[in-house]
Amino acid sequence: MSDQNSKLSPEQAFLATASHEIRTPLNGILGTVSLLLETKLNPSQREYADAIKNSGERLLDLLNNVLDFARLDMGNIELSEDVFRPTALAREVIELLSPRAHANGLDIALRTQTDRALTVKGDSGKTRQILFNLVGNALKFTESGAVLIDLQYQDDQLVFDIIDTGPGISEEGQAELFKAFQQVHQEDAQKDGGVGLGLAIVSRICEAMGGQVSVTSGPGLGTRFRVTLPLPLAKTADPVPANDPIQGRVALVGLPNATALAAAQTLTQAGASVISVAPRQSTRADEVDLILASADLPKSKLKSLCAAAPVLIVLRHEDRTEMPRFRSMGAAGWLVRPLRAASVIERAGLAISGGHASEEEAPDAGHGRILIADDNPINTLIARRALESSGFAVTVASTGREALDATEQISPDLILMDLRMPIMDGFEAIKALRAQGRTVPVIAVSAEINPEIEKRARQAGADGVAAKPLEAEALRQLAFKWVGLHSQAGAA
């Protein structure tokens, strides 16, 4: 038997086991319907599948919030002391949530108003949980527009502003926001599963970390949640490589508002002069050195922009298949949103200097071997179908022991390791892999993700942690990213 629950109290062990057993079939439902939605369906069938997906996601959100709140109610909140980069942490959150945002027609972006290399000391897992809850909440109640994370560091405090273009909240509603089991409006219960625990959880964690969360809003004005956490600066032996400054004038044409704010901040910090140009305005080559243009602009407009100056097309990850078309129009390259500051600076500098300036191109077909270690046949079926349809070779193991044996036989480029398996669990299997000196990327996958589990997985040697259910497209993005990194490391 695994020692996974041996250090937990009986109540905590029950909570961990019950939550896993409830989430497992629910993840199977959500994963299967995500594959179903990628097939050809008639309008009625698609409507039914969407209803299953939406209801399942609401149930999963409800379950996660209830379990998190129960866990916090069981005793004092234990804090860890990690060294982490807030910009990297916030970027992970928006990249995880971007498929949800884009599916609802929303823009999502991170604006960093501090040095990207800023490193602090504190509980990274709980900081991530705070952000994930607040950004998820903003996406839930924003029907059109955008969600922006604004990151600053002031007076030894990390400051996050989560700003949305939602309906806003009255003063009376704001007074109830952080109370458990409260909703601002009755209709909000239909969007939030009817329990109102997410913000109460955020408030408790902030208080435990010595910080606070506040809200500024008004009906029709959108909402800003501000989180302040007293996290001291920390030194790191792994500094962020510095980019060359950008010399030139950059125009932003037709970008969604949050993405435009994030890009302008990044480019200005890098030394560029940034202007915003309305899509109907003309742009001459003598006016700017580079243009960042939205992929949603008309074809004729994009062609005229490409004739005026080097153009980087800004598009969603879901629209990668359009990249060759933009190249044929004369685009110098492209950037995928949500934008990464390092990519913006690097690609902008290359484009201005006349070099190849495409974002790292995710291949249309996967080329690599992936090992899936999971004892649930539904989970493995979903993951296998999603990855094999993109060209990856997939091997399946149902225990940690089988995963170790399979690794010796096939030398995978990526391992997706479930943390709860019989005979040998994922924690033990990852430790054994690292003890053997294997450097293959391992992503720990679990139906129950909380800061404690994430910390244990990373201590065991996991390169990343992902929460079930993994939709088909999110799973492919994960595979393209880590298999590509492994290939580059092997080539080096």
> What's the confidence (pLDDT) of residue 239?
62
Neighbour count for residue 427 (Cβ, 10 Å): 24
Indicate the pLDDT class of residue 178, thresholds 50, 70 and 90. confident
pLDDT at 192 over 60: no
Share of residues in the chain with pLDDT > 90 (%) = 39
Cis bond before residue 239 (omega within 30° of 0):
no
CATH classification code of 82-229: 3.30.565.10
| pLDDT single digits (tens) 32-60 | 888 888 888 888 888 888 888 878 877 87
The second-level CATH assignment, the architecture, of 10-75+365-491 is: 3-Layer(aba) Sandwich (3.40)
Which residues lie across from 159 on neighbouring strands? 152, 228
pLDDT at 426 over 80: yes
> What's the confidence (pLDDT) of residue 460?
94
Indicate the pLDDT class of residue 314, thresholds 50, 70 and 90. very high
3-class DSSP string for the chain: CCCCCCCCCHHHHHHHHHHHHHHHHHHHHHHHHHHHCCCCCCHHHHHHHHHHHHHHHHHHHHHHHHHHHHHHHCCCCCCCCEEECHHHHHHHHHHHHHHHHHHCCCEEEEEECCCCCCCEEECHHHHHHHHHHHHHHHHHHCCCCEEEEEEEEECCEEEEEEEECCCCCCHHHHCCCCCCCCCCCCCHHHHHCCCCCHHHHHHHHHHHCCCEEEEEECCCCCEEEEEEECCCECCCCCCCCCCCCCCCEEEEECCCHHHHHHHHHHHHHCCCEEEEECCCCCCCCCCCCEEEEECCCCHHHHHHHHHHCCEEEEEEHHHHHHHHHHHHCCCCEEEEECCCHHHHHHHHHHHHCCCCCCCCCCCCCCCCEEEEECCCHHHHHHHHHHHHCCCCEEEEECCHHHHHHHHHHHCCCEEEEECCCCCCCHHHHHHHHHHCCCCCCEEEEECCCCHHHHHHHHHHCCCEEEECCCCHHHHHHHHHHHHHHHHHHHHC
> What's the confidence (pLDDT) of residue 366?
61
pLDDT at 299 over 80: yes
Section 253-281 average pLDDT:
92
Tell me which residue of 476, 477, 436, 441 sits closest to 458, measured CA to CA. Answer: 441
> What's the confidence (pLDDT) of residue 20?
67
> What's the confidence (pLDDT) of residue 74?
67
Least confident of 119-123, 297-301, 467-471: 467-471
Least confident of 66-70, 166-170, 244-248: 66-70
Section 214-218 average pLDDT:
92
How high is the mean pLDDT of the chain?
83
User: How far apart are the C-alpha atoms of 327 and 216, rounded to whole Å?
Assistant: 43
Domain ranges of the chain: 10-75+365-491, 82-229, 249-352
**CATH class label, 249-352:** alpha beta
In the chain the first and final C-alpha atoms are separated, in Å, by: 41
Query: Pick the residue with more confidence: 327 or 72?
Result: 327
> What's the confidence (pLDDT) of residue 490?
47
pLDDT at 451 over 80: no
Contact 25, 382 (CB under 8 A): no
Least confident of 13-27, 75-89, 210-224, 431-445: 13-27
Domains 10-75+365-491 and 249-352 in one fold: yes
Indicate the pLDDT class of residue 9, thresholds 50, 70 and 90. low
Q: Report the amino acid identity of residue 67.
A: L
User: How far apart are the C-alpha atoms of 385 and 271, rounded to whole Å?
Assistant: 46
Indicate the pLDDT class of residue 152, thresholds 50, 70 and 90. very high
| CB hemisphere CA count around 387 (13 angstroms) | 27
